[in-house]
Structure 1
């Protein structure tokens, strides 16, 4: 099947409108949380963390004041994407005048609820102030770099990942002819990512787009771009698949598509999931929506480098769908009264089933090593090292699992290169090298590894004659293999 969102899009200016009074909202939310034992006992965030993933949502600063919506968000999600608060028209409405207050509110919520933040976004043709589009083309690069540097520096250490570039492609795989392309050609893409990396070297840097969930002209063009960037040493870290679907119309090639990006050494993430239904709903369409949600979650679980799933918004009453796609709605896991729908139950079941996942293979114990992945077990830790190599360069993804019964609070992973590799930059950890010895130390947002939990970091490097993967690791001085 083809993806169900081949429709011209309007900016997601707001996630939705309030559809119930605050008094009803508060009462309903309390009823939901007390009347759904599975939800209260096993939040989505806990189930996802048990699989080494996250489960997130999108919030606006206005959502923070809606008690019923936040009762769910506070419990269920461990990643948050600001709906509008970090976009250019909010953060720099006039040249050189910055406004980070709305974004700071989202970050403050995340810090108070032990959630990570996905920065969204730095460069996008939409929600772009007129003053940027009106600039002489000779000034665009300097303004773009200044904007990226200022915003990424402001949130340095507080943001897990950035959608550095948002929706750069047309449906046929060509690049949009926006002001950035007109000024710099396709080179603006690499320049934006390099600029963001300089400002915040520990953040994972993404290209995010829609209608790239399956294999098609658009995702093929992005795949080619990603290959080129990595071969040129551009610190691209991941691909965001927005996943705005129509009920029953998920692309059949989604899993294969996610895996091919992962095989490049990139993270993949489902960043804006919703699954709209033609109204009115029926038991059949709601059940199909549940099947769709389960498919998305299971595909993510099957790809080691799929880091997690984020739903775009919390509930149907605050979704952007009805205002953008007339006749459609009911696109999330929760209805307008904050009641969980079949999609919620299907998601819980998908996250609860099976064992852990490694490289697309589900395992319940032992070590699976394939496709350039080396694993080490022993003590109370397990390390999986996955390498993507090209002539003279490589990227490595490292997943550290806590196999013990107590939390690891603050960690340093140590290993030695068997070859002549040199680390050039890293993300999600501070990576240093002395001779062949490498140490990776946690950054602030991933300092704790819960029992059964994982952390994921990576780095890029160069090599001359030998890029053999390391075979042994220590965690805080104790051997993992």
Structure 2
């Protein structure tokens, strides 16, 4: 069983730690993500072409961050508020409601033509103290009033509600909390019926973690779902949170989704992230890309999977580093909101164009190939030219996002230390999607750095094996001429 603790309430202050977690050893800098130039290749457009959505989570001051909102509004078409609709925010005092924070998220979504997933109505955590202090005979009334008031407030603005959040223990038994203590198992049906009465058009979910594959916990939920449906309870869907450790997406996830769908339920991936032990290596980022692609493909294979939502927009706002020390880099975008290999894999899984096939990068003037010395994978190694061998250390892939990657996407061609001056070393570094790893192949045969606008150059115009490659002011000379493939 994967180690897991619940997602804590996050604030701008609690996210601060995440902001200093960098991929590898590269320093952090502020940058606005560069979405694909072709709007048809955005994640949301690709998902919509598959009759699916692709979502994200926004909470706290994220809604006021122009970098985050621009990226989220461009790439995603569903938003989940991280904390703004939970009980301790919406009803901090008995009968005293505060919908302002949630309204801000809804307004953002409406301005960007995004749907909203309501999260959540009944959860054992983030409950205000007054709920836990109620006499048992008053809990049901308080729960029904809370659900009715909140769902009525957002009626017509919410696509789906996580009515019940994380109700199960790992062995498949129900948690003991204020609601089970007062109402037993009956609280689940009562909560869902109450939400349905307030908004009959919203899809009503039970949402939980560690239920992605077939195991004791998902078996318990499956039995509960069968029971609720047999009672005519208007349960509409199951939410698979999908907080994974890289390389540990369950092999039974597709089969598990299919069995819930066979009950007539929607099965959504609601909080996807895929945490990596830091510093993230090229191979772990590639495995993360594979994991994201697997989850998306599983969803596409299940007719009743309406979509996939990532928890957070980028690594900088992720809850992972603050909860799992030593782990991070869990999303499709890095700390600077630049796309990572997981972004490209997700786009391709959704039907976008795959990365260009790998092949050699020929140095025209020298008649040699771009080469990683001695086939090393050591980050920071300066690349060179050498007689063409066809080896993996000379096989580069130019992706749709502009990366030139080697070793099956594990490492990328990189302007050292994000240098933008003539003479900057061109090195290999774990792929992270940042601007200093994006390259434009021009019609005149030059290859320019997206950040520096300088040309890929063989130092001194050398034609010798081992001549080093750097950035230099574009001159059009043969030592700056390259062909791919």
Q: In the alignment, what sits opposite 1:128? A: 127
**C-alpha contact (below 8 Å) 1:57/1:313 kept by paired residues:** yes
Q: In the alignment, what sits opposite 1:227? A: 226
Matches within 5 A, 1:76-87: 76-87=75-86
Q: In the alignment, what sits opposite 2:19? A: 19
Matches within 5 A, 1:338-377: 338-352=337-351
**C-alpha contact (below 8 Å) 1:209/1:241 kept by paired residues:** yes
Q: In the alignment, what sits opposite 2:238? A: 239
Distance 2:253 2:159 in 1: 25
Q: In the alignment, what sits opposite 1:9? A: 6
Query: Which structure has the highest strand share of the two?
Result: 1
Deviations 1:31-68 (A, max 9, x none): x23xx446x54111110000010000000141011121
Matches within 5 A, 1:256-335: 256-335=255-334
Distance 1:154 1:263 in 2: 33
Matches within 5 A, 1:100-139: 100-139=99-138
Distance 2:310 2:7 in 1: 18
SS at match of 2:10: coil
The correspondence for 1:28, drawn from 27, 31, 37, is 31
Q: In the alignment, what sits opposite 1:46? A: 45
Number of residue pairs matched by the alignment:
344
Give the Å deviation of 1:10: 4.5
Deviations 1:265-296 (A, max 9, x none): 00010000000000110000000000000000
**C-alpha contact (below 8 Å) 1:25/1:68 kept by paired residues:** no
Distance 2:352 2:100 in 1: 41
Give the Å deviation of 1:336: 0.3
**C-alpha contact (below 8 Å) 1:51/1:351 kept by paired residues:** yes
Deviations 1:283-339 (A, max 9, x none): 000000000000000000000000000000000000000000000000000000111
In structure 2, stretches of 5+ residues that fail to align are 21-26, 354-485
Give the Å deviation of 1:12: 4.2
Distance 1:141 1:328 in 2: 40
Distance 1:310 1:248 in 2: 19
In structure 1, stretches of 5+ residues that fail to align are 355-481
SS at match of 1:277: strand
Q: In the alignment, what sits opposite 2:476? A: none
Distance 2:46 2:154 in 1: 28
SS at match of 1:306: coil
Distance 2:192 2:317 in 1: 32
Q: How does the TM-score come out when normalised to structure 1?
A: 0.69
Deviations 1:356-384 (A, max 9, x none): xxxxxxxxxxxxxxxxxxxxxxxxxxxxx
**C-alpha contact (below 8 Å) 2:160/2:203 kept by paired residues:** yes
Give the Å deviation of 1:7: 2.3
Give the Å deviation of 1:243: 0.2
Deviations 1:10-37 (A, max 9, x none): 42434833738xxx9996215x23xx44
Distance 2:213 2:324 in 1: 22
Q: In the alignment, what sits opposite 2:254? A: 255
Instruction: Assess, with a 3 A threshold, how the Cα gap between structure 1 residues 25 and 104 changes in structure 2: closer, same or farther.
Output: farther
Q: How does the TM-score come out when normalised to structure 2?
A: 0.69
Structure 1 residue ranges, 4+ long, deviating more than 6 angstroms after superposition: 24-27
Structure 1 vs Structure 2 CA RMSD? 1.8
**C-alpha contact (below 8 Å) 2:87/2:127 kept by paired residues:** yes
Distance 2:30 2:179 in 1: 48
Q: Please identify the structure whose Cα radius of gyration is greater.
A: 2
Instruction: Assess, with a 3 A threshold, how the Cα gap between structure 1 residues 45 and 353 changes in structure 2: closer, same or farther.
Output: closer
Distance 2:66 2:111 in 1: 16
Distance 2:347 2:175 in 1: 38
Deviations 1:69-123 (A, max 9, x none): 1121010010000000000000000000000000000111111111100000000
